[in-house]
């Protein structure tokens, strides 16, 4: 016994052969069996979905899926005029990340087709169903599935698009050369993200000292900060886009200590008689490190050394002088006979702005 397979196609998805009586004739010399008739019924063909190539998008960024998918339908005669297309097809977009699928009925008509040409339609990002857009909160590869269904038959086709979601990374700009500067230096920072975002980005800056204490915090995208004492600092930047917060970008900055300097580099010469008490005039110095502590030593050049007290502030800074400590040496009433200083080291209180 032989089984004969019969196939048929038709634009409207159905085919019927009229019943016939008779016997299959001798096929290649082999006898056949009689049959009372032959009828072939084909179910309505589904639409055919055509999707875009793989996409790469940034984590957290909302992107519109323009030209996401097109579809064709062989039986154009079964589709009504273009103003009624929304009643013929439905579609669903499964984003592949566990979020609720997007569904709709409104499609663009590319070609209304004819009895011999298929109907062509497409999904668009801006539809009466709502914006066909999405944002992925985590980096990774997702498989976005597009399904188009012909309403009359319920038959559908599904195709997938790989979506590669790359992590959104904060970018810190404006760091000093070699990430090193001196106390008293100001740095002007600026923030960004990579890949660049078309959506608004919120930033959070923090600068911590080596003990983990936050010395500076701001939401300004382009802040300025002046380091007031030597240390190794950590600058961190966090970006937030559409509610998605990135991992922090960090940078270490080493701030060097600068030696204090005398306001006047020389002390005027003076004359004194043997045995006469000599009083040293005030000697002012500056230091850009507002939090530094200082000691001073006077060597009288006769074998006597003393450590005077420090008085702060001496006076406001001269015009054009940057921030820093200003103090003066105040010697003892008379030289001491031993090298043991009469006063211990004194801490300097920073000058008020």
Residue 85: strand, helix, or coil? helix
For residue 252, cis peptide bond before it (omega within 30 degrees of 0): no
| Distance, CA of 191 to CA of 288 (rounded, Å) | 27
Q: Record the pTM.
A: 0.53
- List, in order, residues 6 or more apart from 198 with CB less than 8 Å away: 61
Q: What three-state secondary structure class fits 83? A: helix
- DSSP secondary structure of 285-309: EEES-TT--B---EE-SSS-EE--E
pLDDT of residue 291: 66
Fold for domain 48-166? Immunoglobulin-like (2.60.40)
- The full DSSP string for 87-143 is GTEEEEEE-SSSSPPEEE---EEEE---SSS-EEEE--SEETTEE-EE--SS-EEEE
Computed from CA positions of residues 264, 269, 275, 276, in that sequence, does the dihedral angle turn out positive or negative? negative
Closest CA to 65 of 102, 106, 110, 99: 102
Identify the CA nearest to 178 among candidates 251, 91, 76, 281. 251
Contact 246, 238 (CB under 8 A): yes
Record the tokens describing residue 79, joined without a space. Answer: 């589709």
Q: What contacts 112, CB < 8 A, 6 or more positions away?
A: 76, 79, 81, 82, 119
Q: What homologous superfamily is domain 169-256 in, according to CATH?
A: Immunoglobulins (2.60.40.10)
HSE-CB of 199 using CA atoms within 13 angstroms: 21
Domain with CATH 2.60.40.10 in the chain: 48-166, 169-256
Per the structure block, which two tokens stand in for 2?
Answer: 């032989």
- Angle, CA 158 vertex, CA 156 and CA 162 arms, to 5°: 170
Query: At 256, which helix (H) or strand (E)?
Result: strand 249-256
pLDDT digits (tens), the chain, 353 positions: 555 555 555 444 444 444 444 444 444 444 444 444 555 444 568 899 998 888 888 888 787 776 678 888 887 777 765 444 656 888 999 999 999 999 888 888 888 877 778 888 888 766 777 778 888 888 899 999 999 999 888 999 999 999 999 888 899 999 988 899 999 899 999 999 888 877 789 999 999 999 999 999 999 999 999 998 899 999 999 998 877 888 899 999 999 988 888 887 777 777 777 777 777 777 777 777 766 677 788 887 878 888 876 665 544 444 544 444 444 444 444 444 333 333 333 333 333 33
Under 8 Å between Cβ of 284 and 326: yes
pLDDT at 311: 61
Nearest to 46 by CA among 119, 120, 148, 122: 148
Give the whole-angstrom CA distance, residue 270 versus residue 264. Answer: 16
Structure tokens that stand for 297 in this block: 């030593």
Which SS3 state, helix, strand or coil, does residue 84 take?
Answer: helix
Angle at 225 (CA atoms; ends 319, 237), nearest 5 degrees: 170
| Buried residues in 176-200 as b, exposed as e (16+ CB within 10 A) | beeeebebbbebebebbbeeebeee
């Amino acid at each position: 016994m032989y089984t004969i397979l019969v196939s048929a196609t038709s634009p409207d998805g159905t085919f019927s052969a009229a019943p016939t009586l008779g016997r299959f004739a001798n096929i290649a010399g082999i006898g056949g069996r009689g049959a009372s008739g032959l009828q072939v019924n084909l179910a309505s063909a589904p639409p055919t979905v055509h999707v875009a190539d793989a996409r790469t998008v940034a984590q957290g960024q909302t992107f519109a899926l323009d030209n996401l998918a097109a579809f064709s339908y062989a039986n154009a005669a079964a589709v009504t005029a273009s103003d009624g297309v929304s009643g013929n097809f439905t579609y669903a977009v499964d984003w592949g990340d566990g979020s609720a699928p997007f569904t709709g009925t409104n499609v663009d008509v590319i070609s209304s087709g004819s009895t011999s040409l298929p109907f062509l339609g497409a999904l668009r990002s801006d539809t009466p169903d709502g914006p066909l857009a999405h944002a992925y909160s985590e980096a990774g590869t997702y498989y976005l599935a597009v399904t188009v269904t012909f309403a009359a038959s319920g038959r559908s086709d599904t195709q997938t698009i790989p979506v590669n979601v790359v992590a959104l990374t904060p970018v810190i700009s404006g760091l000093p050369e070699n990430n090193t500067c001196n106390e008293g230096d100001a740095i002007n920072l600026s923030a960004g993200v990579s890949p660049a975002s078309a959506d608004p980005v919120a930033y959070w800056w923090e600068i911590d000292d080596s003990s983990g204490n936050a010395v500076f915090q701001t939401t300004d995208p382009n802040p300025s900060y002046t380091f007031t004492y030597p240390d190794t600092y950590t600058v961190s930047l966090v970006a937030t886009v559409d509610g998605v917060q990135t991992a922090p970008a960090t940078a270490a900055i080493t701030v060097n200590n600068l030696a204090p300097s005398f306001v006047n580099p020389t002390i005027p010469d003076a004359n004194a008689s043997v045995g006469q008490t000599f009083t040293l005039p005030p000697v002012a110095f500056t230091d850009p490190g507002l939090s530094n502590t200082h000691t001073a030593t006077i060597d009288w050049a006769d074998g006597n050394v003393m450590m005077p007290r420090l008085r702060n502030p001496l006076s406001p800074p001269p015009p054009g002088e940057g921030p820093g400590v200003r103090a003066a040496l105040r010697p003892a009433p008379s030289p001491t006979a031993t090298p043991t200083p009469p006063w211990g080291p004194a801490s300097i209180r920073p000058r008020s702005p």
